[in-house]
Amino acid sequence: MKLKKLKKKIQQLEKRLREGAQKLAKLKQKLQAAEATKAMKAARKSAARAKKPSSAKKARKKLNLSPERRAQLAAAMKARWAAKRAAEASAKSTSSDDQHAAPGPTPQPPESRPDGV
């Protein structure tokens, strides 16, 4: 290979290496910027989440009800709550009864079937 050709090849390689280094630096900067923006967004989100519970109280809308309808709804809700309390009480009493019940005979293992299963 001639000297001139070798010099030219070396120059091309050096140029490519320089451009590659510049591209690498540019990509690293982009990555750093993207990570910074992501961190900022996360911080902003967490700050917004932390503030929400105190400012989340919304004024309740007043229902436009007649006194008769209001009394009817109140009676329905009281009946519903009473039924719920009764269901909870019965569930508690049945579970406590099961715990104090005397143990019955031990269950026997199932018999083998004639078909071999």
Q: Which two tokens stand for residue 29?
A: 């900067």
Q: What does the pLDDT look like over 48-101, one tens digit per residue?
A: 877 655 556 778 888 888 999 999 999 999 999 999 999 999 988 877 665 555
- Fill in the amino acid letter for 67: P
Q: Which two tokens stand for residue 104?
A: 């019955």
Q: Where are the domains of the chain?
A: 3-49+68-94
Q: What does the pLDDT look like over 11-60, one tens digit per residue?
A: 999 999 988 988 889 989 999 999 999 999 999 888 887 765 555 677 88
What SS3 class is residue 102? coil
Which of 20, 42, 80, 69 is CA-nearest to residue 34? 42
**76 — phi, psi (to 5°)?**
-65, -40
